[in-house]
Amino acid sequence: MKLNGNLRNLEKYKKTKEFEIYGMESDSNYKYGIKSTFSQCLALVGAGFLQVGVGTQLICSTVIIGALLDRSNENERLTMTIEQMSWFGSLLYLCTPLGSVFSSLVLDRLGHKNCMIITNIPYLVSQIIFFYAENVETMYVCSIMMGLGVGFSGGPFSAYLGEVCEPKLRGALMSATNVFFFSGSLLLTTIYAITRQWRLTVLANMAIPIITIVILCMASIIIL
C-alpha cells in the first residue's frame, strides 16, 4: 500500500513538472502581433525622451563649465573660480542618490508614470533658472535640482518599462533606451557647438522636458 501511494505521488509530480515546462515553452513561443509590438514601442517613446533628458542633464554642467572657461564671449556676466566650477560639476552627482531614495519612498504611492512626469519638473525649472542665472549660488541650486531629478527618474523608468513591455520584447526595448541616453548628450553638445552660447543652449534644452511630459500624458490615450 505504501509503495502504491509513493507511485501515485510520483505520477502527480511528473504531471506537474510537464505542465510547468509546457507553460514556459508556450510563453516563450508566443507570437506578438504588429499592433501589440507597435503599442509597446510607442509606450517606449516617452521613457526614451526621459532618458534623453537624463543624458542632457549629465552633460549640461560640462558644457557650461567649458563655456565659462572660454573668455571669448565678452557679454557673459557670470564668472566662476576653478573651485566653484568643481563644486558646480560635482553637486549633480552628489545629489543623485538622494533623488533615488526619495523616488523609492513615493514610487508605489504616486505610480510609475506620474513619477516620470514629476521628474521633468525640476529639470525644466533648472533650465529656466540657468538662463537667468547671475551668481554662483544660483548655479549650485540648479545643479542640485538636476541631480535630484536624475536620481528620481531611475526607479520609475525601470519599473515603467517592466510594466508596459512583454517578456519577449522587454530585453530589446530596454536595451534601446541607451540610444536615447547618449543621443541626449550628443544633442546638447551639438546645440552648443551651433549657438556657441550656453544660455541659448539651455533655452533650447527646455523643449525636451516639455515634450516628454506631453508624450507621457498622451501615451495611454493613443494606445487605447
Cα atoms in the Cβ-side hemisphere of radius 13 Å centred on 179: 7
pLDDT digits (tens, 9 = 90+) for 71-112: 777 778 888 999 999 999 999 999 999 999 999 899 888 888
197: which DSSP letter? -
Contact 64, 58 (CB under 8 A): no
pLDDT digits (tens, 9 = 90+) for 25-70: 444 455 556 766 677 777 788 888 999 999 999 999 999 999 998 8
165: which DSSP letter? S
CA angle 152, 162, 127 (to 5 degrees): 30
pLDDT of 171: 75
Q: Which residue has the higher pLDDT, 19 or 156?
A: 156
pLDDT digits (tens, 9 = 90+) for 159-201: 887 777 777 777 777 777 788 999 999 999 999 999 989 999 9
Does any domain span residue 209?
Answer: yes
H-run or E-run covering 66: helix 34-69
Alpha-carbon span 72 to 196, nearest angstrom: 10
Contact 212, 120 (CB under 8 A): yes
Alpha-carbon span 27 to 179, nearest angstrom: 28
Does any domain span residue 120?
Answer: yes
pLDDT tier at 215, thresholds 50, 70, 90: confident
Does any domain span residue 17?
Answer: no
Contacts for 17 with CB less than 8 Å, ≥ 6 apart:
none
Alpha-carbon span 187 to 205, nearest angstrom: 9
Average pLDDT over residues 145-172: 83
CATH number of the domain bearing residue 50: 1.20.1250.20
Contact 48, 165 (CB under 8 A): no
Expressed as residue numbers, the domain containing 143 is 38-71+78-223
Contact 130, 92 (CB under 8 A): no
Alpha-carbon span 120 to 118, nearest angstrom: 5
Does any domain span residue 30?
Answer: no
Contact 103, 156 (CB under 8 A): yes
Does any domain span residue 117?
Answer: yes
The backbone torsions φ and ψ at residue 80, rounded to the nearest 5 degrees and listed phi first, read -140, 145
Instruction: State pTM to two decimals.
Output: 0.77
Count: domains in the chain: 1
Grid cell of 117 as nine digits: 512626469
Grid cell of 40 as nine digits: 509597446
